[in-house]
Amino acid sequence: MNIENIEAFVYVYHYGSFNKAAEILFLSQPSVTARIQTLERELDCRLFDRLGKQVQLTEKGRQFLPYAQQLLQIYQKGKQHIQKQGTIPNELRIGCTVSVSNYIIPELLPKLKAEYPGLQIKVTTAGTDDIAAKVLNRELDIGFVRGISHPYLRSVKYYEDPIRLYTSTDHPLARMGEVSLDRIADEPFVFFECGALDWLRIHRVFQTLNKPPVIHIHTDNAETAKQLVLNKAGICFLPGVCARKEVREGLLSPIDVAEVTGVALQTNVISLNGEHSEIVQYIISNRFFQDEMREISAIKG
């Protein structure tokens, strides 16, 4: 059994798309398809159901997934152990946006330190443009930024964070699970905005309504917005990553709003082409929160 076929299977599952998996693996889409087909022939079963551009695991695929993930992790750890000496810097300078700094870095860095015990890490929080400029100038080694493209940078999608409406769990809307914007027009709104284009989509939807929601509090800090919702100052559209702990603890309820379905914030890992490849690969291969995010995204209020 070819480890590259196992890798293709795991990546297609993680990204939910043959095209996205091909992009991350630096392969053509037909090459990824061929690898999956070869693996299916070896296992004598179909691993994915193709639903238009989307794919989902078959029952046999779900059964095989944990074994494939374990095989790939063992292979990657063995490869990293052999190649580690002399390839890892003594210091890793990481730049990240505020949301990554608040909600991802505290969980990621202990795992990174466990994998590379001698590594010293310095974290800088800044906006996407500043981080990209610092990586290009070699002031930072890697960055966590909004989706970005540059000929001198390797930019790999790390996660996509769905934006949903959140309320306190005792709010009347929390029992509904899904509402229209018209239904919540009279609710006091806390509006968090980070400047990304996706937030402009929400603004445009508000502008199409005969009676737009009234924004009582406007903030550029997700943690402030979340705390205001917890303290019942209003309801708010928030990125899922900042609310996952409170959803898990039953303090916040996510609600789907049809008019903004599909709005999400994408975070990429960037580095100079050809540099820090091992650490970047470790980071994107160990997105510890991804399954939890999928579960939260599936929760109805």
**Domain CATH code at residue 132:** 3.40.190.10
Cβ neighbourhood burial of 138 (10 Å; 0-12, 13-18, 19+) = exposed
Residues 103 and 245 both lie in one domain: no
Q: Which amino acid is at 45?
A: C
Under 8 Å between Cβ of 285 and 269: no
H/E segment holding residue 15: helix 3-15
In a domain, 299, yes or no: no
Residue 26 has pLDDT above 60, yes or no: yes
**CA 148, CA 15: separation in Å to the nearest integer?**
18
Q: Which CATH number covers residue 78?
A: 1.10.10.10
Does residue 63 sit in the same domain as residue 18?
yes
- Residue 9: domain span: 3-83
From the list 269, 263, 298, the residue with the least C-alpha distance to 282 is 269
The residue with greater pLDDT, 155 or 185, is: 155
Q: For tokens 């079963």, name the residue.
A: 45
CB-CB neighbours of 134 under 10 Å: 17
Is residue 109 domain-shared with residue 249, that is, in the same domain?
Answer: no
> 301 in a domain, yes or no?
no
Bridge partner list, 268: 145, 157
Question: pLDDT at residue 17 above 90?
Answer: no
Domain boundary among 49, 83, 117: 83
Q: 44 and 74 in one domain?
A: yes
Q: For the chain, how many structural domains are there in total?
A: 3
CA nearest to 85, candidates 283, 278, 285, 282: 278
Task: Look at residue 300 and tell me if it is in a domain.
Answer: no
Q: Which tens digit of pLDDT belongs to each residue from 227-275?
A: 999 999 999 989 888 998 999 899 999 998 887 777 888 889 999 887 8
Residue 298 has pLDDT above 60, yes or no: no
**Among the listed residues 22, 26, 77, the one whose alpha carbon sits nearest the alpha carbon of residue 9:** 22
| Residue 250 counted as domain residue | yes
Contacts of 123 (CB under 8 A, 6+ apart): 94, 95, 96, 101, 105, 109
Could you tell me if residue 217 is inside a domain?
yes
Given 83, 116, 133, the domain boundary residue is 83
Cβ neighbours for 252, distance < 8 A, ≥ 6 positions apart:
166, 167, 168, 169, 226, 229, 230, 243, 246
Position 85 scores a pLDDT of 47
What pLDDT does 44 receive? Answer: 93
Residue type, 185: A
Cβ contact 205:260 at 8 Å: yes
Task: Please check whether residue 190 lies inside any domain of the structure.
Answer: yes
- Residue 226 is assigned to a structural domain of this protein: yes
- Of 89-93, 175-179, 204-208, 234-238, give the lowest mean pLDDT range: 204-208
Counting Cβ atoms within 10 Å, is residue 291 exposed (0-12), middle (13-18) or buried (19+)?
exposed
Q: How distant is the alpha carbon of residue 31 from its chain centre? A: 25
Verify that 11 and 79 share a domain, yes or no: yes
**Do residues 145 and 19 share a domain?**
no
Same domain membership, residue 254 and residue 172: yes
171 and 255: one domain? yes
Whether 130 and 260 map to the same domain: the answer is no
174: phi then psi, degrees, rounded to nearest 5: -60, -25
pLDDT in the model for residue 207: 72
Mean of all residue pLDDT scores within the chain: 84
C-alpha distance from residue 163 to each of 47, 140, 201, 299, 300 (Å)? 30, 29, 11, 13, 14
Considering the domain architecture, whether residues 146 and 167 belong to the same structural domain is answered as no
Q: Percent of the chain at pLDDT above 90? A: 33
Domain termination site, one of 83, 106, 139: 83
Mean pLDDT confidence for 186-212: 72
203 and 221 within one domain? yes
Q: What is the tens place of the pLDDT at every residue in 33-86?
A: 999 999 999 999 999 998 777 789 999 999 999 999 888 888 877 765 665 544
Q: Kindly report, residue by residue over 76-115, the tens digit of the pLDDT.
A: 777 656 655 445 668 899 999 988 999 899 989 998 998 8
Packing angle, helices 222-230 and 240-248, rounded to 10: 30
The pLDDT of residue 295 is 55
Residue 148 pLDDT > 60: yes
- Specify the pLDDT at position 225: 92
Asked whether residue 123 is assigned to any structural domain, the reply reads yes
Statement to judge: residues 100 and 35 lie in one domain: no
